[in-house]
């Protein structure tokens, strides 16, 4: 694993409304429709006329249609989809082996967003980022086997297997995290996990190598 510091960004927030008519009221639609009519005494624009009442009924339908169009625009954004969330999950093969179970709408949206954002990588930064988009904060410690020329200050010990790295998470339940990390881990590498509540780290019950403090 290399020590790259960059990782792809995850989309945040909700998409902007790209259709201006999303915010138009019935009154604004009615005025816009009346303004399209020919000029003349038989085409009055004054409030309270039969002509205005007729076009107001058309405006009601226009607002209803535009409201649904705007919902569809929002549903096209996978990280916030609700009505089309099952379709997004089907497209991405979710739930997969790491996300089986019962989840809230927000958690399912996060899984969809994470599956779309993950592009692959083998750096420490990538795996920290991968954990973050699934809602975990982790630290990664790489352990190196003993080698010729290593002094007592090397992070290397006799008997340490090659390609061993440790994921330390401030969380008790790491089921999803372990599955996601192991699935993306480089072939031939060995990854182990330490999962504890943040409070345990603060009072020094466990140090970074997993030995009692």
Q: Are 205 and 178 in contact (CB under 8 A)?
A: no
**Hunting for tokens 């927000």 — which residue is that?**
106
Q: Is residue 88 part of a domain?
A: no
Per-residue pLDDT of the chain (213 residues; tens, 9 = 90+): 443 334 444 555 555 555 455 778 899 999 999 999 999 888 888 889 999 999 999 999 999 998 888 888 888 888 889 999 999 999 999 999 999 989 999 899 989 998 988 888 888 999 999 999 888 999 999 887 666 555 555 555 555 567 889 999 988 889 999 999 999 999 888 999 999 755 443 433 333 333 333
Q: Is residue 109 part of a domain?
A: no
Which of 59, 76, 93 is the last residue before a domain boundary?
A: 76
pLDDT of 198 reads 52
- The answer to whether the bond into 95 is cis (omega within 30° of 0) is yes
Considering its fold, how many domains does the chain have in total? Answer: 2
The CA angle 161-167-168, to the nearest 5 degrees, is 130
pLDDT of 18 reads 53
Which of 76, 109, 142 is the last residue before a domain boundary?
A: 76
Q: Is residue 111 part of a domain?
A: no
pLDDT of 1 reads 47
Q: Positive or negative CA dihedral for 197, 201, 202, 204?
A: positive
Q: Is residue 103 part of a domain?
A: no
**Hunting for tokens 């996060």 — which residue is that?**
110
* Domain extent at residue 68: 20-76
pTM (2 decimals)? 0.62
């Amino acid at each position: 694993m290399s020590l790259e510091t960059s990782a792809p960004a995850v989309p945040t927030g909700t998409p902007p409304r790209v259709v201006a008519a999303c915010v138009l009221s019935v009154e604004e639609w009615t005025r816009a429709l009346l303004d399209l009519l020919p000029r003349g005494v038989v085409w009055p624009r004054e409030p309270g006329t039969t002509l205005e009442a007729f076009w107001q009924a058309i405006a009601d339908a226009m607002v209803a249609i535009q409201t649904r169009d705007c919902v569809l625009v929002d549903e096209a954004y996978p990280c916030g989809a609700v009505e089309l969330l099952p379709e997004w999950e089907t497209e991405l093969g979710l739930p997969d082996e790491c996300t089986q179970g019962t989840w809230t709408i927000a958690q399912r949206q996060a899984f969809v967003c994470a599956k779309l954002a993950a592009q692959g990588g083998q750096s420490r930064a990538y795996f920290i980022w991968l954990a973050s988009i699934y809602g975990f904060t982790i630290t990664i410690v790489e352990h190196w086997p003993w080698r010729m020329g290593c002094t007592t200050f090397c992070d290397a010990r006799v008997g340490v297997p090659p390609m061993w790295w440790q994921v330390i998470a401030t969380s008790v339940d790491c089921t999803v995290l372990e599955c996601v990390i192991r699935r993306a881990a480089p072939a031939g590498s060995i990854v182990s996990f330490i999962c504890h509540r943040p409070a345990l780290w603060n009072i020094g019950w466990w140090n970074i190598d997993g030995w009692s403090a």
